[in-house]
Amino acid sequence: MSHRELDDILGRRWRKPKLIKRAWLRWVLGLGAIAYLIAAIASIEVNWSRVYEGLDRGAAFIISFTRPDFVSRWGDIWDGMLESLIMTVAASVVGIAISIPIGLGAARNIAPLPVYLICRGIVAVSRALQEIIVAILLVAIFGFGPLAGFLTLSFATIGFLSKLLAEDIEAMDRAQAEAVRSSGASWLQWINYGVQPQVMPRLIGLSMYRIDINFRESAILGLVGAGGIGATLNTAFDRYEYDTAAAILMLIIGTVMALEYLSGVIRARVQ
Amino acid sequence: MLRLEKLVKTYRTGDQALKAVDLEVPQGQVLALIGPSGAGKSTLIRCINRLVEPTGGKVWLGATELTRLGAAALRRERRRMGMIFQEYALVERLTVMENVLSGRLGYVGFWRSFLRRYPQSDVDEAYRLLDRVGILDMADKRADELSGGQRQRVGICRALIQNPALLLVDEPTASLDPKTSRQIMRLICELCRERNLAAIINIHDVALAQMFVQRVIGLRFGAVEFDGPPEALTADVLTTIYGEEDWEATIRKVEDEEVPAEGQFA
């Protein structure tokens, strides 16, 4: 831009420069987005008479929440919850333990390139395969039951936690780590003194969050035969026992809320 | 004690941070490294302990040549070079004691350091150093609870507990107020004298450097432009190092302050 005299620009209105500078492109993109949205909504086929019939069933389902039945299937519910909790805790512990070394390897600023590529590869595979797909595969291998669920959740935990841990390590303060290295520390000592204190609060927070996710997932995995409370829930739906299903859903919601509260308390303590 | 021979650092971007720097520092000499930002001061001291890998040249620490050492040997030699950082670089979530003891990491094994079971002699030395710099009662506080001056004192203890032969000091007083800056510089120089340590101190504050050190090196565009005693820093010399500017105020300030400074601290 050529040099401008202050007098020329005084009194001129100032606006934030537009993200897309070319006006015609800006308009085409904006109108295109609106046209696409309208076309997309128009293409959804809704069978309104079917919806009308379904409203009754939906209402029955929702109304059943006002009278959840904890009692008549309590034995099954209790077994299912216990199985889910065991699955969640075991899968979280194993998954987190495996995630930490992989997370260290997947951080570009502390791992050499070959290690980095291998660890990022593991993370990518774990994240690409959705839990349900993994669970179906593992149920096919190990048969019905919580073992398949446990393995699925461990596998999913690795992708989630390693990736986020690695990203936190990559965002750490270099100076602190450099200071530890300059004292002649070995690699492990460097990780323990220079890196770990910086990422620990986030690691704990993420682990708590992952336990929470694993519990919710364990309710879904039952639908494909991988054990836990989900299996009980599935049975209840199959038998049209919406009141029992409501009781199970309430227990799941309660547990997730309790975990949420717990993670808040823990994170506040470790800052 | 420390000798740099034709030390060269070229960054991957092609920037030549150091152009064949030759420098010899005898035992016990405290040296200030001045120069404009980007002159290569930080690169120079990081090339000595190889936090930055030099591209060429040699670094002799006593009889050992550092640039060719393997990882294990380099760790052993790093123990002999204590480093003090700009903005302190303490590990914020560790306690003061852990930060100081981390200076012993080159000497103790992994499990000892992991379990924080340091030899009693190290623990005693850490307490002695904290007492020497006047923050003994902060030992079990977390590093991020301390003020700037206190943090830099912890940084000094961490460097000294390595029992080094050489101190590498990178902008120790940046982000400290003028009074604390002087206290920290005085402390570093006193400790060097007590322990007969050589030190290279990167510093922006020319007046502060003149007040405390025995020798000044001026760096400009990665080359040594000036090497002499602090009194020889004239306006002309500062112009060759930093470029044209009115230096009278900077220099006169030193002379004004010299008198009370001498009376107070000598």
Task: Break chain B into its structural domains and give their ranges.
Answer: 1-80+182-266, 88-163
pLDDT tens-digit map of A183-214? 999 999 999 999 999 999 999 989 999 998 99
Each residue's pLDDT tens digit in chain B (266 positions)?
Answer: 899 999 999 988 888 889 989 999 999 999 999 988 888 889 999 999 999 999 989 999 988 999 999 989 999 999 999 999 988 899 999 999 999 999 999 999 999 999 999 999 999 999 999 999 999 999 999 999 999 899 999 999 999 999 999 999 999 988 888 899 999 999 999 999 999 999 999 998 888 888 899 999 999 888 898 999 988 888 888 888 888 777 776 764 544 444 444 434 43
Residue A172 neighbours by CB under 8 Å, 6+ apart: A109, A195, A198, A199
Calpha distance B127→B94 (Å, rounded): 16
Contact criterion met (CB below 8 Å) for A230 and A83: no
Mutate to test the interface with B, among A182, A200, A203, A204 (most CBs of B within 10 A): A182
Q: What's the confidence (pLDDT) of residue B123?
A: 95
Distance from the A113 Cα atom to the nearest Cα atom in chain B, whole angstroms = 17
Nearest to A183 among B86, B87, B162 (CB): B162
- Which CATH superfamily is B1-80+182-266 part of? P-loop containing nucleotide triphosphate hydrolases (3.40.50.300)
Q: What's the confidence (pLDDT) of residue A3?
A: 66
Pairwise CB contact (< 8 Å): B158 & A198: no
Nearest to B51 among A178, A192, A194 (CB): A178
| B170 reaches A (C-beta below 8 A) | no
Domains annotated for chain A, with CATH where assigned, are: 73-270 (1.10.3720.10)
Contact criterion met (CB below 8 Å) for B58 and B7: yes
Name the residue of chain B whose CA is nearest to A192's CA: B114
pLDDT tens-digit map of B151-180? 999 999 999 999 999 999 999 988 888 899
Q: What's the confidence (pLDDT) of residue A7?
A: 83
Q: Which 48-107 residues of chain B touch chain A by CB within 8 A?
A: 49, 51, 75-79, 81-83, 85-87, 89-94, 98, 102-107
Residues of A in contact with B81 (CB under 8 A): 182
Nearest to B105 among A178, A193, A200 (CB): A193
Residues of B in contact with A176 (CB under 8 A): 89-92
Mutate to test the interface with A, among B69, B104, B105, B158 (most CBs of A within 10 A): B105
Tally the residues of chain A: 271
Contact criterion met (CB below 8 Å) for A218 and A149: yes
Mutate to test the interface with B, among A109, A174, A183 (most CBs of B within 10 A): A183
Calpha distance A69→A75 (Å, rounded): 12
Nearest CA to B202 among B83, B58, B100? Answer: B83
ipTM > 0.90 (yes/no): no
Residues of A in contact with B170 (CB under 8 A): none
Residues of B in contact with A185 (CB under 8 A): 75, 102, 105-106, 113
Nearest CA to A126 among A161, A101, A94, A86? Answer: A161
Name the residue of chain A whose CA is nearest to B71's CA: A186
Handedness of CA B226, B227, B230, B234 (dihedral sign): negative
| B171 reaches A (C-beta below 8 A) | no
pTM flag (> 0.90): no
Residues of B in contact with A168 (CB under 8 A): none
Distance from the A175 Cα atom to the nearest Cα atom in chain B, whole angstroms = 5
Distance from the A188 Cα atom to the nearest Cα atom in chain B, whole angstroms = 7
Nearest to A179 among B75, B83, B114 (CB): B83
Pairwise CB contact (< 8 Å): B110 & A198: no
**The tokens 């990422």 sit on which residue?**
A199
Spans of chain A, pLDDT less than 50: 1
Distance from the A107 Cα atom to the nearest Cα atom in chain B, whole angstroms = 19
Nearest to A176 among B49, B90, B107 (CB): B90
Pairwise CB contact (< 8 Å): A184 & B106: yes
Q: What's the confidence (pLDDT) of residue A5?
A: 81
| Ranges assigned E (strand) in B62-180 | 64-65, 81-84, 166-170
Contact criterion met (CB below 8 Å) for A248 and A80: yes
